Copies of this chain bind each other. A is one copy, B any other.
Amino acid sequence: LNVGPSTDLPAKPPSEGALRVRNLGEFGLIARLQAHLDARLAASPSGRPALALGIGDDAAVWSPLGQARQVVTTDALVQDVHFKLSTTSWRDLGWKSLAVNVSDLAAMGAAPRYALVTLGLPGDTSLSDVLELYEGMIDLAGRFELLIIGGDVVASPALLLSVTALGEATGDLLRRDAGRPGDLLAVTGTLGASAGGLRLLEAGRRPGQGSSRLFEAHLRPWPRVAEGAALVRAGLRCGMDVSDGLVGDTTHICEQSSLGALIEVDRVPVDPALRAEFGAEALQMAIAGGEDYELLCAGPAAAIERARTELSGLGTAMTVIGSLTDPPTEGPLVRLLDAGGRPVATERDSWDHFRA
């Protein structure tokens, strides 16, 4: 096994923090990360008897709980496309890469169980940065009783993270295609804070130099796991998480449910910190910003009301912002209306990473 010092290693080995991935080698790095995860696992109070085999074999193995359905999602982040190392710390990046996947499980009403993490690393990446990245992942994982059970480490010209998250659903699911005409459309929490945090970061501001709420929303989003389960308990069957922006994601529900939607922009829960920082611009950012990781759901008024009660027990607000309709005969699937019922245009509906 090729874990001895490589020929380009200096005579005196560098301190651990200064070690580069290139010095460690693929297997050396994997062994180091595995030890790091094992130590955390051993310290974790919650036993996981269902996991039969974790990191170290060709694959990981678990025994599903009773009749639980298995839920899987995957999401990748690429340096300078989805994040910049000038505006995020390695630790926050670790948190967020796992959080966005856990959010997809929450958006199905599923409980997170396991994750696989693939890292593409330039050879000059420092070990201390990679360990910081893992600290962020382990921090997020610990909040949700999620275990990292495998992954891959590869050399890559740019830093990239490809995460797969596995969960279990013992009840019904929140699906994008389960909307019905007349359903009310509602969203948890507030919108736009992440877009506001991104705007501040791009303007050169850093955490500590402005609203901590906006930075936190963008750098360390909190997946709505408990809320997803509560929506299912309340009888809701249609939902997803807001990652591409409110209009873009409502469009996804409309497409999958073969419906249209009306959103009353005055009802959109604009984040108060966003409004304080950006004033009149805040509404547009809340509608089109993206990366909120709130849950967007649709259902009959009675189920929405039950859900609102369930969520208030969790300290989470839920706001009705519009309704689903029969599909429009022309124009966009999602129409925005002002308080007077007049159509509103938006500058940009949704994120698309291949476009300028």
A residues near B (Cβ < 8 Å) are: 1-2, 6-8, 21-22, 24-27, 29, 52-53, 56-64, 67-78, 80-82, 104-105, 107-108, 110, 114, 116, 118, 120-121, 123, 149-152, 154-158, 160, 162, 164, 166-167, 169, 173, 175-177, 240-241, 248, 251-252, 255-256, 333, 349-356
Taking a contact as CB atoms closer than 8 A, the residue among B25, B52, B173 that contacts A53 in the complex is B173
Residue contacts A-B, CB under 8 angstroms, 24 given: A1-B248, A2-B248, A2-B351, A25-B354, A26-B354, A57-B240, A57-B256, A58-B105, A58-B176, A58-B240, A59-B167, A61-B70, A62-B70, A64-B64, A72-B114, A72-B150, A74-B118, A74-B150, A74-B162, A74-B164, A121-B354, A123-B354, A156-B158, A158-B158
B176 touches A56 (CB 8 A): yes
Assess whether A25 is in contact with B355, with CB atoms less than 8 Å apart.
yes
Q: Which residues in B have their C-beta under 8 angstroms from that of A105?
A: 58-59
| Residues A154 and B82 in contact, CB atoms below 8 Å apart | yes
Contact A60 B73, beta carbon cutoff 8 Å: yes
Given A25-B354, A164-B164, A154–B59 Cβ distance below 8 Å? no
A73 CB contact (under 8 Å) in B78, B80, B150 = B150
A81 touching B154, Cβ below 8 Å: yes
Q: B22, B24, B76: which contacts A152 (Cβ < 8 A)?
A: B76
Given contacts A118-B162, A155-B353, 9 further A-B contacts (CB under 8 A): A26-B354, A58-B105, A58-B240, A59-B108, A59-B110, A72-B114, A73-B150, A80-B157, A121-B354
Q: In the complex, A91 Cα to B173 Cα: how many Å? A: 36
User: Which residues of chain B are near A252, meaning CB under 8 Å?
Assistant: 1
Contacts of A166 on B, CB cut-off 8 Å? 72
A2–B166 Cα gap in the complex (Å)? 29
Do A53 and B175 have beta carbons less than 8 Å apart? yes
Q: Are B107 and A74 in contact (CB under 8 A)?
A: no
Most chain B beta-carbon neighbours within 10 Å: one of A1, A7, A167: A1
Residues A107 and B59 in contact in the complex (CB < 8 Å), given A2-B350, A76-B154, A251-B1: yes
Which of A29, A352, A353 has most chain B Cβ within 10 Å?
A: A352
CB <8 Å contact, A164 and B116: yes
- For A120, list chain B residues within 8 Å (CB): 76, 78, 160
Q: Are A151 and B256 in contact (CB under 8 A)?
A: no
Instruction: Rank and list the top 3 A-B pairs by shortest CB-CB distance, nearest first.
Output: A59-B73, A162-B162, A58-B107
Q: Which residue of B lies closest to A108 (CB)?
A: B59
Q: How far is the CB of A124 from chain B (nearest CB, A)?
A: 10
Enumerate chain B residues within 8 angstroms of A333, measured Cβ to Cβ: 1
Which residues on the B side are within 8 Å of A71 (C-beta)?
A: 59-61
**Residues of chain B lying within 8 A (CB to CB) of residue A76:** 118, 120, 152, 154, 162
Known interface pairs A156-B158, A354-B29; A69-B57 also in contact (CB < 8 Å): no
Closest to A65 in B: B64
